[in-house]
Amino acid sequence: MRFRPCIDLRGGQVVQIVGGTLVHGRQPATNFTSDRSPAVYARMYRDDALPGGHVIALGPGNHDAALTALGAFPGGMQMGGGVTLENAAVYLEAGASHVIVTSYVFRDGRVDMARLEQLATAVGTHRLVLDLSCRQRSGAYWVVTDRWQRFTEVRVDRDTLERLAAYCDEFLVHGVDVEGKRAGIEADLVRLLGDGSPLPVTYAGGAKTLDDLEQVKALGGGRVDLTIASALDIFGGNVPYRDVVAWQRREESLWPT
């Protein structure tokens, strides 16, 4: 298991927002806005040997900021937000290890298999991450798109994870209902991902304490990585980033050599 860092961008600035409030034409509820360049965060993650995190563009106006972050940690961060067949190569050439896609391959409430196959062929499955960020409805989790406001007909379960695993290298899953709220993780979702995903998967959403790393490790059977964002002190929260880095070093000491 790994801690996966993040850089969320809105209007070219590093921010932390409450995920469910990202609605077109409205200002989202924002937990934190940084006066530091995204490259500063990327270099910090690089220096602390924390690869595999993600840069997410929340809406337009983030292209240059994203390229700056990717260039500061070449091969160390994934890029998501508005990624398409037309621009994926730009981000990979700028230093992204992977590109992350959601809305481009989820259209009209379903998986557009033609688009998914084209993208997987163009960038390689080994450089593609599928974002299955989801919300709960009627006792199940469903992929949501369009700023996490639109429910699709794609249920996040073992069958979906196994079917889509042929087209990508990893999954990224935000628990949207708790994203940015620092109210605790979606335990049932983490357990589902640990039981059902044949690929590495990163869960994000609701983490509020250092203990959430151990909780996700237990619930996910060591197969689910965790992003802590709004709760970190580097984003205005109470969890010391340095304690998280120390946790990661202890975890690595347990890995087989």
CATH number for 158: 3.20.20.70
Helix (H), strand (E) at residue 163? helix 158-164
Indicate the SS3 state at residue 60: coil
Q: Quick one: which of 195, 255, 253, 248 has its CA closest to 219?
A: 195
The range of the structural domain enclosing residue 229 comes to 6-253
- Flag whether 92 is in a domain: yes
Q: What is the DSSP letter of 239?
A: B
Amino acid symbol at 73: F
Signed CA dihedral, 120, 121, 122, 126: sign only: positive
| pLDDT recorded at residue 18 | 62
Mean pLDDT, to the nearest integer, of 86-99? 98
Q: Tell me the CA distances in angstroms from 75 to 49, 89, 92, 96, one per residue in order.
A: 12, 14, 9, 5
Q: What are the tens digits of pLDDT across the range 101-142?
A: 989 999 889 999 999 999 999 999 999 999 999 999 999 999
- Flag whether 210 is in a domain: yes
- Flag whether 243 is in a domain: yes
The total of structural domains in the chain comes to 1
- Flag whether 155 is in a domain: yes
- Flag whether 1 is in a domain: no
- Flag whether 98 is in a domain: yes
- Flag whether 244 is in a domain: yes
Q: Quick one: which of 220, 219, 214, 218 has its CA closest to 228?
A: 214
User: What size, in residues, is the chain?
Assistant: 257
34 class by beta-carbon count within 10 Å (0-12 exposed, 13-18 middle, 19+ buried): middle
> CB neighbours of 154 closer than 8 A, spacing ≥ 6?
106, 109, 110, 111, 132, 142, 143, 160
- Flag whether 85 is in a domain: yes
For residue 225, what pLDDT band results from cuts at 50, 70 and 90?
very high
Asked if residue 25 has pLDDT above 70, the reply is no
Q: In what order do the strands lie in the sheet with 140-145?
A: 134-137, 140-145, 150-155
